[in-house]
Structure 1
Amino acid sequence: MKRDLAKTLSFLTLHFIVGFSVAYAFTGEVGISSAIAVVEPMANAVVFFFHERVWRRAGERTRSSDSPSGLAFHC
């Protein structure tokens, strides 16, 4: 668990640094770059949530169409 948290925090730090650097390269503004670097991961988290829901539903449809009776069996 500690390792997972450490990896998450290190990835978050890298994500912030990359986001800030790219935004700064385009804008040359520290404030705008900081805002983008903070807001972008939050927006991605929301998109990821809905992305996972779509994939889960697609998987459920695939499983139900693969079963011989047309019914999905979940283990």
Structure 2
Amino acid sequence: MTKTLTFAVLHFSVAFTVTYLLTGSVLIGGAVALVEPAINTVVFYFHDKVWKRLEAKKQHALDAITA
């Protein structure tokens, strides 16, 4: 979970900076920095869980072959 939270902080910062530089608006930068990374962080969390499950299945299959 720590990995996900640090990713979220980094993502919020990047989203705000890029949006602010493109629009010059702190309000729009702040809105985008809250909405887009929040959604993306949740998606990343579940993506990471699925990825780990797939890696475990792959390892289990390899273990079965070499056993």
Separation in 2 of the partners of 1:29 and 1:37?
12
Number of residue pairs aligned between Structure 1 and Structure 2: 60
In the alignment, structure 2 segments of 5+ residues that lack a partner are none
Query: Corresponding residue for 1:26?
Result: 22
Larger-gyration structure (1/2): 1
Please report the RMSD computed on the Cα atoms of aligned residues, expressed in angstroms: 2.6
- Runs of 4+ in structure 1 deviating by more than 6 angstroms, as ranges, are none
In the superposition, the TM-score normalised over structure 1's length comes to 0.58
- Tell me the amino acid that sits aligned with residue 48 of structure 2: E
In the alignment, structure 1 segments of 5+ residues that lack a partner are 70-75
In the superposition, the TM-score normalised over structure 2's length comes to 0.62
The structure with the largest helix share of the pair is 2
